[in-house]
Chains A and B, each alone.
Chain A
Amino acid sequence: MTESRPLASNSARVRVCGLYAGDALGAGGGSLGRVWGIDWTLGHGIHAVIGTPEDGTAALAGVLTGELRPKRGSVYIEGVAPFASAVCRRRIGALLPRSTGLGGTVRELIALSHAVRGGDVPLDRLGLGALRARRNQTLSVPEARALELALALATPTPSLVVLHEPWNGVAGVDPIGFRELLLERAASAPVVVLTSVLTEVAKLADSVHLLEGGRWAAVDGGSGWLARAAEKLLVWLEDPNGLVTPELAATLSTRVENARSVSWERIAGPPQLGLVAIAADDLEAAALTVSKVCAELAVNVRALATTPLERAALLGLVRAAPSERSP
């Protein structure tokens, strides 16, 4: 199930202007990835950044959380630069590429987080309750990252949550609990997810940015593709005469609950195919309705799929429409 959470345009919490920054993940402390000329304004919601550390995702995560100082440009969270303010960082949840474990036990770390930032670390909701009795230094890297994910989601009223690859190299996290927490935090704060796991992005993100070589290569809407808000159910029909497709589209627009749009087009080729695209909040329910209506109209369905948000496809779209790229 998905839910619609439109972004409030006047609730910008994070402002990034002309950002140039590099991470410190390269050999000898040099930069593995950099970002150039990034301008970004964020309100609440889940904002996905697709890319790899080489594209600058780690650098972007570092400057957003205050770990790294921008080389040029600025990052302000509610008007304060996170690198220069401990008070600002208290309300930022961060899961970064490198694990930064403290000593002592997990219980002590949780108590410290609670004392400094308030809020409870949601270990149990994430299925990580067993970590509580462990010592930090005995945690494996995926376990330490899972603990950092829990710490990142602990702030009760965050100003920003930044999660770098939360679906990679993180051990034992309950996906349902994680998703619920993500949506809860995103209801009131910007949640930036930097990832290369596109299937999760397609389910969750309110906006998607493609980071390529340190620059925005594409921003949703700007290159003809969108994130969850415009995920669609695609239905290919056998329609030699071109008559069934418009009729089916019209029927579906009234029968599919919460349908945001239903469009159709004829596809040339032997045999002739028709394509109906449905944007709806609940694509699974839409698919059931489609199968019922098709059975009623005796229409032969050749294929049925949701729009995949694949990197190759995104790049294809970006390259196919260079004039539509966003800055």
Chain B
Amino acid sequence: MIRAIRVGIALGWTRTGPRRVGVLLGLGGLGHAGVALAVRSSSRLGAPDAVLGLAFGFGLPLIAYGAVATALASTDLSSATWAAARLGLSRRGVAIGLSLSAFLTTLLVLMPGLLIGLGVAYGSLPGGARDVFTSTGLVVLGAAAYVAVFTLASTAMKRGRARSLALFLDFLLGSGTSVLALPFPRGHLSSLLGGEALATLSQRQSSGFLGGLAVAALLLALGRLRD
């Protein structure tokens, strides 16, 4: 199993490619810094919120979606594992490796941009370090949840097209605060960032729900695979 996970990580990283990561990294840094500068000129106190809104509202789901789709070679989870599974490695082990690769790619692409954006937004304002610390934890939690949800969605429909449906539903339903938003990371992340509580859940509960969502979605995805 360990060998299968290791091969899965390497396979995912090969499919993603350092060049693509480098380009996204540059775009992410520029985007976040650009938004911070633009908002800061009109409202200095609103700049950090704008950067966080960009990072968690658009950057995180889109980057996680792209990272999963790339690691899975734009196909379904079972087919994506075949390159290694044909040698006799466990499909589940390879799938865990591919998910880990997508998770690390998401962190690698998003974090530097977010840090640059927050640095520009805060400037000499106090509270920057605390926000960076909190945001880093949220990015890790959010990336895990999004990658797991997209991985689970990749087990449904031809070539894992349910992945796109999950992204669409996250934008559509996850933005609300009703129970319909519960299965999607967006509402929980919004609540954790200081937004409206999701279906009367406290921030602590949302945080636990997000972690549980990541674990449950990954386990369900693995359960949909055979050995």
Contacts and interface: CB of A to CB of B under 8 A. Distances in A.
Interface of A: 24, 28-30, 65-67, 69, 83-87, 89-91, 94, 96, 100-104, 112-113, 115-117, 137, 151
Contacts of A103: 10-11, 13-15
B7 interface: yes
6 contacts: A28-B159, A29-B75, A86-B85, A102-B84, A115-B3, A137-B14
Contacts of A151: 87
Contacts of A30: 158
Contacts of A100: 82-83, 86
Contact of B226 (A69, A90, A102, A112): A69
A125 to B, nearest CB: 20
Contact of B10 (A90, A94, A104, A117): A104
Interface stretch (B61-69, B88-96, B144-152, B179-187): B88-96
Given A103-B10, A116-B89, A67 B82 contact: yes
Contact of B88 (A67, A69, A86, A104): A86
Interface in B79-113: 79, 82-91
A89 B86 contact: yes
Kindly list the 6 A-B residue pairs having the minimum CB-CB distance in the complex, ordered from nearest: A103-B14, A90-B88, A29-B159, A29-B158, A84-B226, A100-B83
B227 A117 contact: no
A86 B90 contact: yes
Given A67-B82, A94-B86, A85 B3 contact: no
A24 to B, nearest CB: 7
Given A24-B79, A102-B7, A86 B14 contact: no
Nearest to B74: A29
A102 B90 contact: no
Interface residues of B, number: 26
A89 to B, nearest CB: 5
Contacts of A115: 3
Interface in B2-61: 3-4, 7, 10-11, 13-15
B11 A102 contact: yes
B75 A104 contact: no
A101 B159 CA distance: 18
B1 to A, nearest CB: 10
Contacts of B83: 100-102
A304 B89 CA distance: 52
Contacts of B14: 102-104, 137
B158 A89 contact: no
A89 B87 CA distance: 7
B88 A117 contact: yes
A87 B88 contact: yes
A65 B86 contact: yes
B10 A102 contact: yes
A27 to B, nearest CB: 10
Contacts of A104: 10, 14
Contacts of A90: 87-88
Contact of B158 (A28, A67, A101, A102): A28
Contact of B87 (A24, A29, A67, A113): A113
A65 B226 CA distance: 14
Nearest to B4: A86
Contacts of B159: 24, 28-29
A311 B75 CA distance: 35
Contacts of B89: 86, 116
A179 B178 CA distance: 66
Give the residue among B4, B78, B226 with the most A Cβ atoms within 10 A. Answer: B226
A111 to B, nearest CB: 11
Contacts of A117: 87-88
Nearest to B14: A103
Contacts of B15: 103
A211 B14 CA distance: 37
Contact of B3 (A67, A69, A116): A116
Given A102-B10, A103-B14, A104-B10, A85 B158 contact: no
Nearest to A30: B158
Give the residue among A83, A86, A87, A113 with the most B Cβ atoms within 10 A. Answer: A86
Contacts of B76: 29
Contacts of B90: 86
A90 B4 CA distance: 13
A75 to B, nearest CB: 13
Contacts of B227: 84-87
Give the residue among A30, A67, A100, A116 with the most B Cβ atoms within 10 A. Answer: A100
A112 B116 CA distance: 40
